[in-house]
Amino acid sequence: MKKLIIVVIIFVVITFFIMDNKKINTEKEVPVALNVASEKRAVFISYIELQEYIKGKSKEESQKNIIKMLDNLQNNNFNMVLLHVRPFSDAIYYSQIFPSSNYVVASEGVPLEYDILEYFIDAAHQRNIELHAWINPYRIRSNTDTSSIATSNPAYKYLNTEHVKIIEGVGIYYNPSSSVVRDLIVEGVKEIVSNYDVDGIHFDDYFYPDDTIDLENYQEYINNGGTLTLSDYRLNNTSMLIKDVYQSIKNIKKEVQFGISPEGNINNNYDSNYIDTKKLLSVEGYVDYIMPQIYFGFLNEVMPFIDTANMWNSLIKVNNIKIIPALGIYKSGTIDNFAKSGSSEWIDNNDIITKQVLISRRLNHYGGFSIFRYSYMFNDDYTKNNPNLQNEFKTLQEIIK
């Protein structure tokens, strides 16, 4: 009997070490990073936050809210902000090209009471926080109502032309195949970089809105002797924009960074958004950093975090390009149906984001991490009834303070 007990104990111990080693080996599949001390710890401040903290507020109150946001970030050791400066062919800054955004004023085109971007930049830099101007290049509206588009909006004069398309069920977008549109976006970026002390320009994943927007343009391209497939034609359109933006930035201020935050699922980038991410990361002259939206848990059956992070890291062939994974703290305490068998992971655990940061730090092109988005950490309306979210943030604080 004693021998049997000893055998069972040995078996349990061996099984434990085998399982533990398996876990360690899985994590060791991620290469070791060269430097963690200089990591970017970024937070998205979207047009939703702007609407919550600035729109409808007096100048004094809105500026107080900006200071509070930046104090919260500084006190928690965040050092980079991705600020939504142009979400819908509009601006939260003084622009000669785009009208003021209705997410900070009563309606689009109403004069700004003060330069919100300038105020953000000054306050951020006083706290040693970088500010990257976040732009949606093509999006004009997320609905099809044209009545709210101000006459001062460049989209207004392009209504009913090939340059702007109204897509039922999707919204109103600039046409990515239009050279006029490309020039407009580039000029808008140049205006920001020339007039403001931003540390970077940032695009997210809103590129091609659907599969119909440029069909007429593509047919004209074919009729004129073009040989690219429709997919390659679209990938080339976005690549041209990205390259032009990058070069325009560097021509004005070489130190200003340019980054993109594409979908974490790379297949979607090729099949629907038409962003040639492999090209952007293997050829110089496109981006300084990539911030893939890896909003997936470890148990996600479709896109498990470690495999996805490794895949993005492996795509980088230009040594000075950094990966800064975007992490979805907003999922904490929710069911993730996309994850299939791992759908309850964000309910069953409250330290997912922390583990993702620790694992990301091992990526050999690691440049930092970013959190989507501000209110899910600092707004009681989001956190008070979500203990998982509260605990996610607490555990994250422990490794970045």
pLDDT at 35: 56
Which residues face 91 on adjacent strands? 100
For residue 25, tell me if it sits in a domain.
no
Q: What is the CATH number of the domain that holds 233?
A: 3.20.20.80
Specify if 123 maps to a domain: yes
Q: State whether residue 217 is helix, strand or coil.
A: helix
Is beta strand 322-323 parallel, antiparallel or unpaired with respect to 164-167? unpaired
* Nearest of 195, 303, 176 to residue 252 by alpha carbon: 195
**143 within a domain of the structure (yes/no):** no
Measured over the CA atoms of residue 53, residue 188, residue 231 and residue 224, the dihedral's sign is positive
User: What is the total count of domains within the chain?
Assistant: 1
Q: Report yes or no on 111 lying in a domain.
A: yes
Per-position DSSP letters for 332-355, written without gaps between them = TTS--GGGGGGTTHHHH-S-HHHH
Cis peptide before 362 (omega within 30 of 0): no
Rounded to whole angstroms, how far apart are CA atoms 164 and 178?
9
Could you list the pLDDT tens digit for every one of the 401 residues in the chain? 444 444 333 333 333 333 233 332 334 444 444 456 789 999 999 999 999 999 999 999 999 999 999 999 999 999 999 999 999 999 999 999 999 999 999 999 999 999 999 999 999 999 999 999 999 999 999 999 999 999 999 999 999 999 999 999 999 999 999 999 999 999 999 999 999 999 999 999 999 999 999 999 999 999 999 999 999 999 999 999 999 999 999 999 999 999 999 999 999 999 999 999 999 999 999 999 999 999 999 999 999 999 999 999 999 999 999 999 999 999 999 999 999 999 999 999 999 999 999 999 999 999 999 999 999 999 999 999 999 999 999 999 999 98
Q: How far is CA 93 from CA 89, 121, 163, 192, 214, in A?
A: 12, 11, 24, 9, 31
Residue 147 domain-assigned (yes or no): no
Full DSSP string of 122-188:
HHHHHTT-EEEEEE-SSEEESSS--TTS-TTSHHHHTTTSTTEEEETTTEEEE-TT-HHHHHHHHHH
| Structural domain containing residue 287 | 42-136+178-400
Is the entire prediction scored with pTM above 0.75?
yes
Helix (H, G, I), strand (E, B), or coil: what is residue 378? helix
φ, ψ at 151 (rounded to 5°): -65, -20
Q: Is 184 a member of any domain?
A: yes
Tokens of 209: 């809105």
User: Residue 190 falls within a domain, yes or no?
Assistant: yes
Kindly state the helix (H) or strand (E) to which residue 241 belongs, with its residue range. helix 230-252
Neighbours of 158 (CB within 10 A): 20
Residue 346 in domain: yes
Q: Are 238 and 275 in contact (CB under 8 A)?
A: yes
